[in-house]
Structure 1
């Protein structure tokens, strides 16, 4: 597993370099970015080639960033560590799912730190693979090690995306001082996600089924999208109605007892997550090169949409409970290190992806202990 991690770390470097530039990750084959000379197998041995060449290209002697062997070493050590903590004999093929999670977190963190973006090519296929590994967990015995089976993986993906997109919706509303969006997306965007949240809260609160609420909220989002497409313009959905209505509905549900309130929260998160993932797929498939370079004005946002999809990946591979642990750790780490960032370099725009990745690793290794300690604190 350590050797496999070194090799995947080498490919991770390819992803980190090419994905933000919109390049194909397979073609052309590996080459020096300075002289474009193709690299031979001897140039591509993880860590060893960089050290043997003195950190310089064999052909043009241009310096090679030490980030390449560092990423490879981190990946190799992480894969070996995962195999030690979660032995193949105990979790079976699910071990490779954990390796996939680490690779996605590592690549997303580096790209986010450099570009403030997390490519859809990582998160959306990663969410699907997380659900597939949920099926694998059903039969591999990995559930005994705390890894989610398919139903839990689906719940984690939807509610994981729902948690972060709800934070984004409410935070952005506050940033706009509760004014409506000036630049709503057509035909599918945050307005439809807010509608899904509202519908999910109501359906979840009265039915008690998060999956039924997710389906109902998703249906509302699709109907609103089709209406926009038919009208060829944005049919306004006031956030005072959708977001304000969701908050009022939760307040009213609290009067019906804890189970109704919990159903409303879970239903709203699952529905918002379902519509947000639909929006993510739509934006990914409809994106053009012109869109990538678009500098048109937009409304302020409290949370990047890439973070929303990264949370779906974490939720699918770890489950919703550990996703909540990851978010809590990320918020604390982001707050502390964000203050340091502000004081040292004067920058107040937070790259949340790396903190979310730190939280996911903590949740994977110590999530069960943290949740048990928290339940003990609450006397549950």
Structure 2
């Protein structure tokens, strides 16, 4: 018991320090600045900060929330992020004691930090940097690989590799499917005016349909073949959405009436294929030197979207760390939190000030803390 108490204290202190670094990420990532250089400095006067200026929480309080050198106000967001991170790390160390979960506690704390940083950036800039979501999803898979090799059980709070991969694909797939269908409705079932080259939403929709009938792997393969055809033809070959999205919906209806493979398997294949293709698109848009903007940008060059693509990648990160079952719990919590907090904000501020990213983060933390119990309860009720 004593070692766990000491580790909780250590986790709280570590959380304060990581919270300070999180503030660096929150400020610099949206501005495409290096997180290493230049050293910490006042954003108003650019004066380098001394070590005494960088003590989490205490420096801000002792300076009265103002820069030591130019007296410009310092946002209270800085100590708030540090306190939230410290408290979050301490809570995780209590719920998942190190003596039981071992190094998985580091993964849980990392997930907490990634969710917090993504949420604050999303709230301030309406974007979620790929530098957070895509590498974060890959790290979630790595922790799953470690769990698989060690034979760790669900008590670690993290899934094994197979469940992490499944959670990542279904997380991205679920939100991109909502985005595809919602955007189709917003456009009143008209085709996209600006299909991306060589791969984009058209290939994701095609993978959704192909995955429903052929499974996740073949579904992604069909999407990749479509992108290859675009490259070889040096033009975008349109794949009509009445065929891809309409075909997927019709397939599910027919399956629900007894035709074709099992409905659950069809849905899983469709979502996993669409999620895999969406992540390939996200990786391409992030790394390609030819791309200067993505379909997330508010531009006349892109069609209206029902959901930001950053939310899709954030869901992939959450699924990689939590597995597909807790991912579903996280999405349900996010929707409920969005409804409740959205109404409260409308009543108080006359507008909804939170993006969906923070709701997803809230749902993920709740799913991490209570997801296992809720999944077990669900299985007990339905005899699964």
Report the TM-score range of the alignment, normalised by the length of the smaller protein.
over 0.9
TM-align CA RMSD: 2.0
Q: Is the 8 A contact 1:200 1:270 kept in 2?
A: yes
What residue number does 1:233 align with?
A: 235
What residue number does 1:206 align with?
A: none
What residue number does 1:282 align with?
A: 284
* CA distance, structure 1, for counterparts of residue 236 and residue 154 of structure 2: 48
Q: Is the 8 A contact 2:230 2:237 kept in 1?
A: yes
What residue number does 2:198 align with?
A: 187
Q: Secondary structure at the match of 2:277?
A: helix
User: What does the per-residue CA deviation read over 1:344-363, in whole Å, with 9 as the maximum and x for residues that have no partner?
Assistant: 44446861001001100110
Q: Secondary structure at the match of 2:262?
A: helix
TM-score (norm 2): 0.92
User: What does the per-residue CA deviation read over 1:39-59, in whole Å, with 9 as the maximum and x for residues that have no partner?
Assistant: 121111111211222221111
Q: Secondary structure at the match of 1:291?
A: coil
After TM superposition, list the pairs within 5 Å mapping 1:1-380 onto structure 2: 1-139=11-149, 142-145=152-155, 146-203=157-214, 213-256=215-258, 260-286=262-288, 290-291=292-293, 295-347=299-351, 351-378=355-382, 380=384
Q: Is the 8 A contact 2:123 2:354 kept in 1?
A: no
* Offset at residue 214 of structure 1 (A): 1.8
* Offset at residue 36 of structure 1 (A): 0.4
* Offset at residue 364 of structure 1 (A): 0.5
* CA distance, structure 1, for counterparts of residue 40 and residue 262 of structure 2: 56
Q: Is the 8 A contact 2:165 2:320 kept in 1?
A: yes
User: What does the per-residue CA deviation read over 1:218-253, in whole Å, with 9 as the maximum and x for residues that have no partner?
Assistant: 111111111112222211000111111111122222
Q: Secondary structure at the match of 1:32?
A: coil
Q: Is the 8 A contact 2:16 2:85 kept in 1?
A: yes
* Offset at residue 261 of structure 1 (A): 1.0
Paired residue total? 371
Could you tell which deviates more after superposition, 14-23 or 142-151? 142-151
* CA distance, structure 2, for counterparts of residue 70 and residue 160 of structure 1: 29
Unaligned runs of 5+ in 2: 1-10
Q: Is the 8 A contact 1:90 1:142 kept in 2?
A: no
Residues 288 and 80 from structure 1, CA distance in 2 versus in 1: closer, same or farther, beyond 3 angstroms? Answer: farther
* Offset at residue 300 of structure 1 (A): 1.4
* CA distance, structure 1, for counterparts of residue 46 and residue 220 of structure 2: 47
Q: Is the 8 A contact 2:143 2:158 kept in 1?
A: no
* Offset at residue 338 of structure 1 (A): 2.1
* CA distance, structure 1, for counterparts of residue 251 and residue 190 of structure 2: 20
Residues 278 and 289 from structure 1, CA distance in 2 versus in 1: closer, same or farther, beyond 3 angstroms? Answer: closer
Residues 257 and 365 from structure 1, CA distance in 2 versus in 1: closer, same or farther, beyond 3 angstroms? Answer: farther
Residues 182 and 98 from structure 1, CA distance in 2 versus in 1: closer, same or farther, beyond 3 angstroms? Answer: same
Could you tell which deviates more after superposition, 313-322 or 228-237? 228-237
Could you tell which deviates more after superposition, 114-123 or 144-153? 144-153
